Structures are given as structure tokens and as C-alpha cells.
């Protein structure tokens, strides 16, 4: 039981991470109609920046802040140099162009930081486990991740639903021409939105950096999970991304932890231990297939899309 | 019930009964009934938002009515999907031109012919060399006056020619009935006149339901006119009857326009 | 391709002649490196040609086409490990399994369109990648060595480099011919029509879903066969074959060569793989002119040039190499 609660918390934490990525992707897609495969590269950059700046400043918090700013700047620069030219084009063009960007960023990181990968160590007090429920201990840092992401999700909600810039974002999502006609600098708006998406991805990366090895290509597999989240949640819907991210995080984590044991009840232990890992890695894709069959537009389809 | 309605109920090709469709609070079709006889050109007119395009969409099966019944050639087609209706001989041309722009004019019409030539799970023979497809397609192009332009890419045709191509595609399946959604929209006077001549030639062989804003064309071509306002039929009858119909003059034509036609 | 003598057909004839004569060159010089490289190119060109059928002609942007390379390869590998070495069994099974999986994936993915379709094909491909990693008995993450190539009795010996190359070349030509027949048939006209204007296709009476699905299955099946060839070529199969970047490579080949052009994927495959071989050398040479000490090292980072190159192709050479040739020809 304790193990189960711990796994659930891990699932929520993965879900939070996926939400940060999916929210940026879905925002960028919803507003600029742009499919950005290189989103995972920004996640990777966030992690590398955090590891580097934390080592330079000798402070995790300062490193994280600098990394956040750095990914924001890189994101806006990428938008101005490359992405801007892809708006209004075929989705296939987006896919190819941003696929090229992934190769570019992977190689760039290899040039700057070398092929070995990095680690980022946390301050001592972050490493201890705290009691979250009677008898349940959970690493403090993972709780920090969950809480920090919840705060970001809330801020994002307030930004999109309650502020003037959020109104522009929502208007842009539903009616490009109208925003242009209002005389709003749509180019700047797009750059800001892309930067925001990049910062979200960078935030996910830097928060994750202390838990796993910072390495080349770390953003790619998680990006595909973020796609699954978007498909399940419905493209363009941040609320859908949030719900679906937690779903996917939970199912994936808990499935991997318990499915092999569960199979052992029905199959020989030999068959179970060979089928278990394969089957549990399929779970979220099966969920996606089910959603596709019954709700091809996702759980929270945005109106008019 | 006037003379026209009475004599057409029995042998109508298309029979629409009490068709109703709402979008939220907006009534697009309000217990709408009309019929089209074989060989007849029946025009539907009405101000913007009268529900003309909604009517066509329900006839083609792109929209499902909330209530009512559509009978075509004696079959209840109310619940049939679009491709089945078009297989029965109900062809539509689009208000907003919607062609295969990267293909030639002849390829466009050939595809329409192919749509009516059974299934297309034929994987080997070169479709562009099948006279079974190409000859009817060429004939349809000639009928609409595009015989010379057969090999031009659709993207390079003029606006008027797009309309002609649309109609050629509708003709390709040898339909019993054409649903024409504003074929004159956006055409210059010369192109409009050509279109009127073409429709006059077509109407002897096909029943036509024509939705059109161009009153001159409607009164020149129609055997019967139905006037829609807010999805409801306010009048239906021969052009003369409509021209003199008090409610129509008041609600739609306006005294000035009515005097012009 | 109506005029017999134009730049494009001369170029394609040239490429085909070089491909046909390559084993002769290898035999004369004893340099079999090129033959090995080009066997790989020819197999991937076959995969790219099958992708072109759905991507170029059908407008279905599948980002998971490398899955079938993996499926075909794993069928050969798994059967070989279980002691079934006959190619007469292995290859038909590879084809059948690929077709079935394509049917399943297509039936689900084709319910959606546009960007959904891209993401869904990508996600399902990733699923197969993880399944392969989970196959502990068949090497899991490390992959599976194939100790003996498919056996075809006295008919053909796959262990002979020359025979194997010509077999792959014949399969490539067969695939191109098949695609040519398909896209010009009634079936192909429906596929092209639905790429051009799917809604209109419905309106004039085509239920396009079933045609697209069959097209998707044909493409997957052909690619599965290419996968069986690839596994025999490398004597090895691993999840990496199905990694999503491999699917990306196939798309790059199609677009680089020219979408919806019959020989485009072949040209694109040659161009991409030759570029991958020569770019490091080229960069080293250029870097050597500026800073001789860094020459070797600079060559390692060739992808930093390749990536932006894709972006440039997308932005400025949308028709790919075939499109450029056509442009030059028109003057």
C-alpha cells in the first residue's frame, strides 16, 4: 500500500512534467498552428543550462532562474530566426524543419558540453524524505516539483484567462485575422508565445535535471509522451493537457510498477516477466487508441477546431 | 394548394416534406416542403439567411434534418449518406468553388465520372487511358463549353470557368437532378449570360433545383419559384404568380426590384 | 515524363545505370565498401518509395513508417532465432504481419487528419519501439544478431554481396513500377483526389476512408518487405531501426527527392545517405583550411550542418531535387 501511494506520487510528478511540455506545445499549436518537434530540444537545453549555471553560481535556485531566462531567450531567438518562416505553411514543412532543428541542437549540445552528459546535485536539505501521510515518506524535492508545477499551471491559467495578453492569446487562437485587424503587433505576440512555450519546456527540463542524467536526446522520448497527452486531452486545450497529463503519468508509472505482478496472477512467472515490461509500456498508447475510437477529437476538444 | 403543387405531388422526382432544422435558437428550415418534377427547373430564392444553403446541404446529406422527410425518385433518402445520394443521381455544384486544383479540368470531371462507375478498387489499368471514364468526361466538358480547356490545370482556369467545370462535374454522373448553389455568384454580366444559356440547354434533360440571387436569371429560367424567408416557404408557384405575389413583394423583392423584373 | 529526352529522365536514367553497374565496378576494383553502402541505400529507397505512396500521392503524413522496417526485420530475426531459416516462410510472414499491423494502425490513425495524424502515427511507432525493447528473449534493447540470412535453396544466395544487391535492386524497381501502376489507376486517382480535396471526394460520392486505408496497408506491406531485406543486409535487428528519427529520415528522403514524384524517393535516399557519408569529410576539409588542428574534430559535428539544411530545403526547395530539375529544365 505504501509502495502504491509512492508510485502514485511518482505518477503525478511525471504527469506534471508532461503537462509543462504539453502546455507549451498545445499553446504554440493552438495559436500559431505550428507543430514543433524541437520542443524537446528546449527541454534538454533547460536541463543543460540549469546544470551549468548551478555549477557556476554554486546555487541551485540561482542556476534554475538563469536557466529559465536562458531558455526563454533561446526560444525567442529560434522563433525569430527560424520558426517565423514556417507559419502558414504545411504541417509537413513544420515537421521537417523542426526535425532538422533537433539534429542541430543535439549536435550543438555535443559541441558545447561534450557527449558525456552532466549531473546536477541538489542542496542537502532537498534530498531528505518528508512524511506526507502517516507512515509515507517521499523525497522533498519531488514534492517541490509537484507544487512548483501546480503553481505554474495556476499562473498559466490566470495568464490565459484573466489578463489582456491572455485575451490576445485566446483571440489569436480563434481568429488570427481579427487580432491582426485590431492593430496588435502579431509578430511580437507570436515571439512571446513561443518564448513562453520554450520557457515552460525549459522549466520542465531544469526541474527534472537533478533527478536524472542530463544528456543528449533526453527531450525526444518525453516529447512523444507529450504528444500522447495532447492527443488524449484535445489539441489546443490547456485544461485537457492538464487532465490528460496526470492520467498518462499515473497510468504509465503505476502500470510499470504493478502490471508485471498483476500478470503473474494469470500467467506463469516466466511469461509474466517477459510480457510485463512490453505490455506496461503499451498501456498509455492503448489508452490513446481507446480515446481515438470513442473521442477522435480528444477529451476536451476546443470549439471551432 | 395551387395547380402546380397538386399536379406534381404524384410524379415528383424530389419531394421534400416538412423539413425542419435548427441551429441553437436559429431556425434554418421551418416545416419546409417543396417538390421538383422531372425536367423541371425549380428555383429557390430568398434573402440572405433564408436557409437556402442549409436546404441544399440537407438535400445532399451533409446536414441531417431534425424532422421531415426527403424522397428522391420514390426512395426515402432522409437518412442516406452523401455518397449514396449522389449514386442515386442527385448531383450538387458548390457555391464556393471546391475543385481538385492540382489536376487538369479533364481529370476533375473524370473523377466525377469514376465516382459513378462502381467501386474504384482497380489497381492496375491506367485510369487516364480508360475511354469509359475519359469520353463521358470530355462530353460533359463540351456541354458546359470547356471542351477546349480539357488539359488545363484547374488552378489556371478563370472564375467563370471554375463554375462551368463545377457543373460539368455535376453532369458527369448522368444525374437525374442537379442541385445548383448560386452558380452565377461572382460572375460578370457576360459570363452570367453564358451560364443562363447553358442552364437553359441543360434543363430539358435534367431536373434542376437552382438556388440563386440573380433575379434576372431566375425569372428567365425557372418553371417554378419557391420563396424562402427564415427557413419558411412564403410562396411557391410559376414566375408570374411570384412576381405578383403581395407577400413576396413586401417581404423580399421590394417594390422597386419587383417593378424592374 | 512524357518527353523521352529531358533533363529529369536523363538524370534518372543516369542514376539507374550507375546503380545497375555498381557491382561490376566493385568486382573490377575489389572495393566492396561502396556496394555495401549502396545495398543499404537501395533498401531504404524502397522504404521511402513506399512512404511516398501515402505521403506524396495520398497526403498522409505518416511519422511512423520506420515501424514496418522493424516489423519486417523482427519477423526475419525472430523466425531465424527459432530455427526457421527458409526465406519462403520468413518473407511471406514478414509481409503478412506488416500488412496486418498497417491495417490496425491505419484503421485507428485515419480516423483523424492533419496534425493529429502526424502525432498519432508517431506515438504508435514509439509504442512498437518500446515493445521491441521489452522483447527480452529477442535481445531487448541490444537487438538480435541474425546468424544466418534467409535461405532460398538454390534460387538465390543472399550471402553473396552481388546477388543480394541485385535482389534488392530488383525489389526497388518492382516497388517503383508497382507504385507507378497504382497511382495512375482508378484507385490512385481516388488517393490523389483525396489528397487534393478530401471533402469534395466525399461530395461526389467516394467513401475515401477505405481507399486511404488500403493505400496505407499497401505502403506498410512494401516497407515491411524492405525491412526483411534490411535485416538480412545488416545480419542484425534492433529497436533502433524503429526509432522515430528513422521515420523522420524516411520523410526527409521523400521530401528531399521530391514528393509525389515516382523516382523522387530514390534520388532522395541516394542524396541523404551520400550526404551523410561525405558531409563529415567535407566539413573536415573546410575546417582544415581555417584551423588545421580542428579539422578531424569538426568533421564529427556534421549534423550541425545537416539539420539546418533540412530547414533550408523546406523553405526554399519545396519540390526537392526533382522539383529543382524540373525548374532548370523549364529555364
A177 pLDDT higher than 70 = no
* Sequence spans of domains, chain A: 7-214
- The grid cell for B145 is 463549353
For cell 526465406, name the residue: C87
Percent over 70 (pLDDT), chain B? 91
- Write the DSSP symbol of residue C282: H
- Among A188-197, A213-222, A284-293, C169-178, the range of highest mean pLDDT: C169-178
The residue-averaged pLDDT of A122-130 equals 80
> pLDDT at position B254, please?
57
**How many Cβ pairs within 8 Å bridge chains A and C?**
132
The residue-averaged pLDDT of C170-198 equals 96
> pLDDT at position C192, please?
96
pLDDT category at A186 given cuts 50, 70, 90 is confident
pLDDT category at B2 given cuts 50, 70, 90 is very low
pLDDT category at B26 given cuts 50, 70, 90 is confident
Q: How many helices (H) and strands (E) does chain C have?
A: 13, 2
Check: CB of residue B157 under 8 Å from CB of residue B129: no
Q: How far is C124 from chain A (nearest CA, A)?
A: 7
From C123, C306, C315, residue closest to A231, measured CB to CB: C123
Q: Using alpha carbons only, how large is chain B's radius of gyration in Å?
A: 19
**Which carries the bigger pLDDT value, residue C91 or residue A60?**
C91
> pLDDT at position A131, please?
82
CA B212 to chain centre: 9
Is B123 in Cβ contact with C193 (below 8 Å)? Answer: no
Q: Which residue of B has its CA nearest to C194?
A: B100
Is C63 in Cβ contact with A227 (below 8 Å)? Answer: no
> pLDDT at position C5, please?
62
Is C115 in Cβ contact with A91 (below 8 Å)? Answer: yes
Q: How far apart are CA B108 and CA B250, in angstroms?
A: 43
> pLDDT at position A174, please?
59
**Which carries the bigger pLDDT value, residue C233 or residue B8?**
C233
Neighbours of chain B (3+ CB pairs under 8 A): C
The residue-averaged pLDDT of A150-155 equals 92
- Residue A295 touches chain C, beta carbons under 8 Å: no
A188 pLDDT higher than 60 = yes
pLDDT category at B95 given cuts 50, 70, 90 is low
Q: What is the pLDDT of residues C57-109, one digit of tens each?
A: 999 999 999 999 999 999 999 999 999 999 999 999 999 999 999 999 999 99
- Residue A228 touches chain C, beta carbons under 8 Å: yes
pLDDT category at B17 given cuts 50, 70, 90 is very high
Check: CB of residue A9 under 8 Å from CB of residue A138: yes
ipTM: 0.90
> pLDDT at position A67, please?
96
**Which carries the bigger pLDDT value, residue C299 or residue A213?**
A213
Which residue of A32, A83, A99 to mutate against C (max C Cβ within 10 Å)? A99
Q: What are phi and psi of B16, to 5 degrees?
A: -115, 125
Which residue of B95, B100, B117, B131 to mutate against C (max C Cβ within 10 Å)? B100
Q: Which residue of A has its CA nearest to C136?
A: A274
Neighbours of chain C (3+ CB pairs under 8 A): A, B
Q: What is the pLDDT of residues A29-42, one digit of tens each?
A: 888 888 999 999 99
Check: CB of residue B211 under 8 Å from CB of residue B181: yes
pLDDT category at C147 given cuts 50, 70, 90 is very high
* Sequence spans of domains, chain C: 11-245
Is A92 in Cβ contact with C61 (below 8 Å)? Answer: yes
Chain mean pLDDT for chain B: 86
Quickly count: other Cβ atoms within 10 Å of residue A77's Cβ. Answer: 14
Q: How far apart are CA C314 and CA C302, in angstroms?
A: 19
Q: What is the pLDDT of residues A91-115, one digit of tens each?
A: 999 999 999 999 999 999 999 999 8
- Residue B8 touches chain C, beta carbons under 8 Å: no
Residues of A in contact with C254 (CB under 8 A): none
- Among B209-223, C85-99, C311-325, the range of highest mean pLDDT: C85-99
From A89, A101, A228, residue closest to C307, measured CB to CB: A101
Handedness of CA A213, A215, A221, A225 (dihedral sign): positive
Check: CB of residue A12 under 8 Å from CB of residue A138: no
Q: How far apart are CA A94 and CA A88, in angstroms?
A: 10
C213 pLDDT higher than 60 = yes
Q: How far is B248 from chain C (nearest CA, A)?
A: 33
Q: What is the pLDDT of residues A4-25, one digit of tens each?
A: 888 899 999 999 999 999 999 9
Quickly count: other Cβ atoms within 10 Å of residue C138's Cβ. Answer: 18
Q: Which of B100, B133, B119, B127 is CA-nearest to residue C211?
A: B119
Chain mean pLDDT for chain C: 92
Check: CB of residue C102 under 8 Å from CB of residue C221: yes
In three-state secondary structure terms, C243 is coil
Is C135 in Cβ contact with A96 (below 8 Å)? Answer: no
> pLDDT at position A173, please?
60
Q: How far apart are CA A71 and CA A49, in angstroms?
A: 8
Write the DSSP assignment of chain A as a string of letters. Answer: -HHHHHHHHHHHHHHHHHHHHHHHHHHHHHHH----TTHHHHHHHHHHHHHHHHHHHS-HHHHHHHHHHHHHHHHHHHHHHTGGGGTTS-HHHHHHHHHHHHHHHHHHHHHHH-TT-B--PPPHHHHSEEEEETTEEEEHHHHHHHHHHHHHHHHHHHHHHHSHHHHHHHHHHH-HHHHHHTT--HHHHHHHHHHHHHHHHHHHHHHHTTTS-B-TTHHHHHHHHHHHHHHHH-TT-HHHHHHHHHHHHHHHHHHHHHHHHHHHHHS-HHHHHHHHHHHHHHHHHHHHHHHHHH-TT-SSPPTT-
Instruction: Spell C235-269 as b/e; 16+ CB within 10 A means b.
Output: ebbbbbbbbbebbbbbbbbbbbbbbbbbbbbbbbb
Check: CB of residue B249 under 8 Å from CB of residue B256: no
Supply the pTM of this predicted model: 0.88
The residue-averaged pLDDT of A282-292 equals 87
A170 pLDDT higher than 80 = no
pLDDT category at B10 given cuts 50, 70, 90 is low
> pLDDT at position B46, please?
87
Residues of A in contact with C246 (CB under 8 A): none
Residues of chain B with CATH 3.40.50.300: 3-89+176-260
Percent over 90 (pLDDT), chain B? 42
Which residues of C sit within 8 Å Cβ distance of B?
Answer: 181-182, 184-190, 192-193, 196-197, 199-207, 211, 214
**Which carries the bigger pLDDT value, residue A240 or residue C72?**
C72
B8 pLDDT higher than 50 = no
- Residue A248 touches chain C, beta carbons under 8 Å: no
The residue-averaged pLDDT of C128-132 equals 92
- Residue B251 touches chain C, beta carbons under 8 Å: no
Q: Which fold has domain B3-89+176-260?
A: Rossmann fold (3.40.50)
B96 pLDDT higher than 70 = no
> pLDDT at position B4, please?
45
The residue-averaged pLDDT of C30-35 equals 90
The residue-averaged pLDDT of C291-313 equals 85
Q: What is the pLDDT of residues B159-174, one digit of tens each?
A: 889 989 999 998 988 8
Residue C303 belongs to what H/E stretch? helix C303-316
Amino acid at each position: 500500500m505504501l509502495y502504491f501511494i509512492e508510485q502514485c506520487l511518482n505518477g503525478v510528478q511525471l504527469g506534471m512534467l508532461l503537462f509543462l511540455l504539453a502546455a507549451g506545445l498545445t499553446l504554440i499549436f493552438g495559436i500559431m498552428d505550428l507543430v514543433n518537434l524541437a520542443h524537446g530540444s528546449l527541454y534538454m537545453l533547460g536541463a543543460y543550462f540549469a546544470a551549468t549555471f548551478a555549477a557556476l553560481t554554486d546555487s541551485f535556485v540561482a542556476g534554475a532562474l538563469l536557466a529559465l531566462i536562458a531558455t526563454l531567450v533561446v526560444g525567442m531567438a529560434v522563433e525569430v530566426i527560424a520558426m517565423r518562416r514556417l507559419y502558414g505553411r504545411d504541417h509537413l514543412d513544420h515537421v521537417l524543419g523542426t526535425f532538422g532543428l533537433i539534429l542541430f541542437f543535439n549536435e550543438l549540445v555535443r559541441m558545447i558540453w561534450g557527449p558525456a552528459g552532466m549531473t546536477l546535485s541538489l542542496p542537502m536539505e532537498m534530498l531528505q524524505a518528508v512524511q506526507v501521510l502517516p507512515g509515507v515518506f517521499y523525497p522533498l524535492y519531488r514534492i517541490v516539483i509537484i507544487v512548483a508545477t501546480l503553481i505554474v499551471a495556476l499562473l498559466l491559467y490566470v495568464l490565459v484567462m484573466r489578463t489582456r495578453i491572455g485575451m490576445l492569446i485566446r483571440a489569436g487562437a480563434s481568429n488570427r485575422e481579427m487580432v491582426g485587424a485590431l492593430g496588435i503587433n502579431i509578430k511580437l505576440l507570436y515571439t512571446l508565445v513561443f518564448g513562453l512555450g520554450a520557457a515552460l519546456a525549459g522549466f520542465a527540463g531544469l526541474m527534472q535535471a537533478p533527478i536524472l542524467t542530463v544528456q543528449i536526446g533526453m527531450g525526444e522520448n518525453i516529447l512523444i509522451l507529450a504528444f500522447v497527452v495532447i492527443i488524449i486531452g484535445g489539441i489546443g486545450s490547456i485544461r485537457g493537457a492538464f487532465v490528460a497529463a496526470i492520467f498518462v503519468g499515473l497510468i504509465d508509472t503505476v502500470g510499470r510498477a504493478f502490471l508485471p505482478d498483476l500478470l503473474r496472477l494469470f500467467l506463469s512467472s516466466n511469461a509474466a516477466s517477459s510480457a510485463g515490461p512490453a505490455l506496461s509500456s503499451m498501456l498509455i498508447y492503448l489508452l490513446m487508441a481507446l480515446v481515438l475510437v470513442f473521442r477522435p477529437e480528444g477529451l476536451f476538444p476546443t470549439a471551432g477546431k | 394548394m395551387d395547380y402546380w403543387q397538386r399536379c406534381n405531388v404524384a410524379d415528383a422526382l424530389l419531394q421534400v416534406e416538412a423539413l425542419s432544422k435548427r441551429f441553437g435558437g436559429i431556425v434554418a428550415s421551418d416545416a419546409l416542403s417543396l417538390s421538383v418534377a422531372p425536367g423541371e427547373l425549380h428555383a429557390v430564392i430568398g434573402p440572405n439567411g433564408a436557409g437556402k444553403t442549409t436546404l441544399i446541404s440537407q438535400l445532399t446529406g451533409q446536414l441531417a434534418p431534425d424532422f421531415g422527410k426527403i424522397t428522391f425518385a420514390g426512395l426515402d433518402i432522409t437518412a442516406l449518406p452523401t455518397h449514396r445520394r449522389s449514386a442515386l443521381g442527385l448531383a450538387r455544384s458548390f457555391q464556393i468553388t471546391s475543385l481538385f486544383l492540382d489536376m487538369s479540368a479533364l481529370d476533375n470531371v473524370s473523377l466525377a465520372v469514376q465516382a459513378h462507375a462502381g467501386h474504384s478498387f482497380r489497381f492496375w489499368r491506367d485510369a487516364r487511358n480508360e475511354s469509359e471514364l475519359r469520353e463521358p468526361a470530355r462530353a460533359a466538358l463540351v456541354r458546359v463549353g470547356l471542351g477546349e480547356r480539357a488539359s488545363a490545370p484547374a488552378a489556371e482556369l478563370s472564375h467563370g470557368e471554375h463554375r462551368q467545370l463545377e457543373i460539368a462535374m455535376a453532369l458527369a454522373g448522368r444525374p437525374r437532378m442537379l442541385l445548383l448553389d448560386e452558380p452565377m455568384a461572382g460572375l460578370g454580366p457576360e459570363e452570367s449570360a453564358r451560364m443562363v444559356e447553358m442552364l437553359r440547354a441543360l434543363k430539358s434533360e435534367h431536373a434542376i433545383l437552382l438556388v440563386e440571387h440573380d433575379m434576372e436569371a431566375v425569372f428567365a429560367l425557372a418553371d417554378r419559384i419557391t420563396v424562402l424567408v427564415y427557413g419558411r416557404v412564403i410562396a411557391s408557384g410559376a414566375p408570374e404568380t411570384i412576381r405578383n405575389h403581395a407577400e413576396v413583394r413586401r417581404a423580399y423583392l421590394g417594390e422597386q426590384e419587383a417593378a424592374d423584373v | 515524363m512524357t518527353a523521352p529526352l529531358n533533363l529529369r529522365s536523363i538524370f534518372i536514367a543516369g542514376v539507374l545505370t550507375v546503380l545497375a553497374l555498381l557491382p561490376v565496378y566493385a568486382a573490377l576494383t575489389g572495393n566492396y565498401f561502396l556496394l555495401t553502402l549502396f545495398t543499404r541505400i537501395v533498401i531504404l529507397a524502397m522504404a521511402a518509395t513506399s512512404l511516398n505512396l501515402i505521403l506524396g500521392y495520398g497526403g498522409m503524413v505518416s511519422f511512423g513508417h520506420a515501424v514496418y522496417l522493424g516489423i519486417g526485420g523482427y519477423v526475419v530475426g525472430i523466425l531465424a532465432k527459432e530455427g526457421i531459416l527458409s526465406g519462403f516462410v520468413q518473407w511471406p510472414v514478414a509481409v503478412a504481419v506488416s500488412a496486418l499491423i498497417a491495417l490496425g494502425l491505419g484503421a485507428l490513425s485515419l480516423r483523424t487528419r492533419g496534425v493529429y495524424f502526424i502525432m498519432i502515427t508517431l506515438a504508435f511507432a514509439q509504442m512498437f519501439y518500446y515493445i521491441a525493447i521489452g522483447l527480452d528473449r529477442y535481445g531487448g534493447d541490444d537487438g538480435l544478431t541474425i546468424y544466418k540470412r534467409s535461405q532460398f535453396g538454390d534460387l538465390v544466395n543472399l550471402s553473396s554481396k552481388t546477388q543480394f544487391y541485385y535482389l534488392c535492386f530488383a525489389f526497388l524497381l518492382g516497388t517503383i513500377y508497382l507504385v507507378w501502376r497504382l497511382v495512375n489507376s482508378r484507385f490512385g486517382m481516388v488517393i490523389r483526389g483525396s489528397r487534393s480535396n478530401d471533402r469534395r471526394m466525399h461530395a461526389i460520392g467516394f467513401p475515401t476512408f477505405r481507399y486511404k486505408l488500403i493505400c496505407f496497408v499497401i505502403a506498410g506491406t512494401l516497407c515491411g518487405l524492405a525491412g526483411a531485406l534490411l535485416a538480412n543486409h545488416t545480419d542484425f535487428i534492433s529497436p533502433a531501426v524503429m526509432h522515430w528519427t528513422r521515420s523522420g529520415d524516411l520523410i526527409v528522403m521523400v521530401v528531399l527527392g521530391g514528393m509525389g514524384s515516382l523516382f523522387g524517393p530514390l534520388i532522395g535516399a541516394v542524396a541523404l545517405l551520400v550526404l551523410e557519408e561525405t558531409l563529415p569529410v567535407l566539413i573536415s576539409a573546410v575546417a582544415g583550411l581555417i584551423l588545421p588542428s580542428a579539422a578531424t574534430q569538426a568533421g564529427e559535428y556534421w549534423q550541425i550542418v545537416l539539420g539546418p539544411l533540412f530547414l533550408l530545403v523546406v523553405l526554399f526547395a519545396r519540390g526537392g531535387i526533382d522539383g529543382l530539375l524540373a525548374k532548370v529544365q523549364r529555364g
